[in-house]
Structure 1
Amino acid sequence: MLKGILLVFFGACSFGILSTFVKLAYHDGYTLGDVTGAQAFFGAVILWVLFFFQSRTSSYKAKEIKLITPRWKMVLAGTCTGLVSIFYYQCVKLVPNSVAIILLMQFIWISILLEFIIYKKKPTGLQFLAILLVLAGTILASGMVEASISSLSLKGIGFGLLAAISYAGFLMLSGKIGNEYPALQKSALMITGACILIFILFPPVFLYNGALSGSLLKWGLIIAIFGTVIPPLFYAEGVPKIGTALSSILSAAELPVAVMMAGFVLQEQVSFLRWMGVCVILSAMVLPNLKYLRKGGR
């Protein structure tokens, strides 16, 4: 259990790093299609290369794995990952970053709601309390209290909510299907689906228009590693061990990391009130996991 908790937590932290590098890529003049396309393409290549080398090891060959879920379903499920990138990165362009983050964080209650509607699984009392704390902390940590919301883009809000729904769908699918696959293969198949979707919506002109000779290669690799390789790989291994509800709470680590990156890398002013929100979120993530931490994950 503890291993699953740590994997999901660090996967969420990796997601939190993304927005900073995406902003830097936009600052260099690259488009939504360039950023999402490079992320998915490099991510898929890295994962398949890692799986290729893993599949050549004697320990992997010794395992007899009975695959129940068809590969095409895994690829189709991976479109949720592509949708998260498209919707969230577009949201960031249309509304203030603090508002975009708070919209994305709505995946917490959306994932719990979806699990209750589809699987009739009610959240525990501690999980419900943690969700309330996460939402309250999100409002503080995102800077929503201090920000002006008089001129918000309705289109931007829509993209943010779509990103939250897609993220909740990704968490649910990651925990429910294809768990018989090795984590690397599962992640590679899902990211391949994301790459196909993104290339359909945004033809990969960056592959031949010279963009990779600039800084897009650097940003694409960084965003792919922290957004496409580490999180799906860690989630594929961790979510089945702890469930969707607990995963959604731990995934709130994305916001504190995003706030810290904004302060340290982008030199944005982070107020005391926002740091208080970060502390509330961190306490909310620890609360439902105390019994597992005390038992050492047994």
Structure 2
Amino acid sequence: MSRYIFMVFAGACSFGILSTFVKLAYADGYTAAEIAFSQAAMGMAVLWALSVAGIKRHGLPLNARGWASLLLTGAFIGLTTFVYYVSVQYIPASLAIVLLMQFSWMGILLDWLLFKKKPGRRQAVVTALVLAGTVLSGGALNPQARDISLPGVLYALLSAFLYAVYVVANSRSGNQLRPLQKSAVIMTGSTLGIFVVNAPLLVNGSHYNSGLLQWTLFLSFFGTIVPPVLFAKGIPRIGAGISAVVMTAELPVAVLCSHLVLSEQVTPLQWLGVGIMLVAMGLLHGRKDA
């Protein structure tokens, strides 16, 4: 089982490095729309190529409603990526990932509001811990906190909300498909969602060159190709609960990467906040409330 745990861990770490390198792509003059769309389109193409053999053998059991549901689910994760990338234009990558992690309690709230799944005691404790960890790891107690960009914070929180919607929708859509096929359809929706929102910018873009292709290859490899393949292999073997805990590795990896590559300051108090959030997410995916 340790082999499959490592697969899920590696997939989470791949996600964790993205925001840091997106900031470097911005320094080369590329926009959030160009980066997010190119990354999604490349991931879509590769995932469909990997799915061809399975589709020939087993078909693609999706009716019109199933297609619409999965494409919409994909649009949510595509817009999550785009809005998250926009947020790191305004705020440190280490703060953006902390705010993105708010999807955990937002998902609990959505389940309650939409499907009447009332949170238990454990989930209430988890929410309180996540919020406390956010205050610490986000640097809210730092005297320089007042200089943090409000639009950046709002964009990051919007990306967390969209991610929560995606997680809820993904858990209820396309479960009759094989993981790679489902990922390919979702990534198609992701590409379409990003394009629809940014069509004028993308059609009139002037940065379609070898430099963007290099960033696309790098970001799509670590963001939309490697993680889905590793998750498709590892998650069924170790289960959703253990996977969800292992996937929290994305948070410390993102914070550490932003510190090492971008020289963003991370204080001991912020690391304490990250630790509290990791404990909270571990509790969230532990055994269910009695």
**TM-score in same-fold range (> 0.5):** yes
Partner of 1:38: 38
CA gap of 1:37–1:127, structure 2 versus 1, over 3 A, is: same
Q: State how 1:130-209 maps to structure 2 within 5 Å.
A: 130-146=126-142, 148-203=144-199
Give the deviation of 1:139 after TM superposition.
2.9
Partner of 2:24: 24
User: Which piece of structure 1 moves more, 230-239 or 84-93?
Assistant: 230-239
Partner of 1:47: 47
User: Which piece of structure 1 moves more, 160-169 or 205-214?
Assistant: 205-214
Match of 1:262 among 258, 262, 277: 258
What is the rounded CA distance, in whole Å, between the counterparts of 1:86 and 1:267 in structure 2? Answer: 24
The letter of the residue matching 1:192 is T
Query: CA deviation digits over 1:65-104, x for unaligned, max 9?
Result: 7546522321122100111012111122123444433432
Give the deviation of 1:130 after TM superposition.
3.1
Give the deviation of 1:187 after TM superposition.
0.9
The letter of the residue matching 1:21 is F
CA gap of 1:115–1:195, structure 2 versus 1, over 3 A, is: same
Query: CA deviation digits over 1:255-274, x for unaligned, max 9?
Result: 21111111233333332222
Correspondence 1:212 to 2:209: yes
Query: CA deviation digits over 1:96-120, x for unaligned, max 9?
Result: 4444334322212111000111222
What is the rounded CA distance, in whole Å, between the counterparts of 1:291 and 1:91 in structure 2? Answer: 34
What is the rounded CA distance, in whole Å, between the counterparts of 2:15 and 2:143 in structure 1? Answer: 24
On the 8 A contact 2:77/2:163 being kept in 1, the answer is yes
Give the deviation of 1:7 after TM superposition.
7.1
What is the rounded CA distance, in whole Å, between the counterparts of 1:181 and 1:2 in structure 2? Answer: 26
On the 8 A contact 1:175/1:236 being kept in 2, the answer is no
Size of the aligned set, in residue pairs, is 283
Match of 1:126 among 122, 144, 149: 122
Give the deviation of 1:21 after TM superposition.
1.2
Give the deviation of 1:52 after TM superposition.
1.6
RMSD: 3.5
What is the rounded CA distance, in whole Å, between the counterparts of 2:150 and 2:205 in structure 1? Answer: 35
On the 8 A contact 1:98/1:144 being kept in 2, the answer is no
Q: Secondary structure at the match of 1:165?
A: helix
User: Which piece of structure 1 moves more, 5-14 or 31-40?
Assistant: 5-14
The letter of the residue matching 1:185 is Q
What is the rounded CA distance, in whole Å, between the counterparts of 2:44 and 2:172 in structure 1? Answer: 21
| Identity percentage of aligned residues | 41
User: Which piece of structure 1 moves more, 8-17 or 110-119?
Assistant: 8-17
What is the rounded CA distance, in whole Å, between the counterparts of 1:126 and 1:6 in structure 2? Answer: 27
Q: Secondary structure at the match of 2:145?
A: coil
Q: Secondary structure at the match of 1:94?
A: coil
Query: CA deviation digits over 1:184-230, x for unaligned, max 9?
Result: 1111111111111222333485999563312x222212221222234
What is the rounded CA distance, in whole Å, between the counterparts of 2:156 and 2:217 in structure 1? Answer: 24
Q: Secondary structure at the match of 1:219?
A: helix
TM-score by length of 2: 0.81
Long gaps (5+) in structure 1: 293-298
Query: CA deviation digits over 1:225-266, x for unaligned, max 9?
Result: 222234455667849x648xx987765443211111112333
Q: Secondary structure at the match of 1:149?
A: helix
What is the rounded CA distance, in whole Å, between the counterparts of 1:147 and 1:17 in structure 2? Answer: 27
On the 8 A contact 2:78/2:194 being kept in 1, the answer is yes
User: Which piece of structure 1 moves more, 169-178 or 267-276?
Assistant: 267-276
CA gap of 1:236–1:134, structure 2 versus 1, over 3 A, is: farther
Match of 2:224 among 218, 222, 228: 228
What is the rounded CA distance, in whole Å, between the counterparts of 2:125 and 2:251 in structure 1? Answer: 18
CA gap of 1:223–1:6, structure 2 versus 1, over 3 A, is: same
Give the deviation of 1:50 after TM superposition.
1.1
Give the deviation of 1:278 after TM superposition.
2.8
Give the deviation of 1:288 after TM superposition.
5.0
The letter of the residue matching 1:211 is Y
TM-score by length of 1: 0.79
Q: Secondary structure at the match of 2:209?
A: helix
The letter of the residue matching 1:268 is E
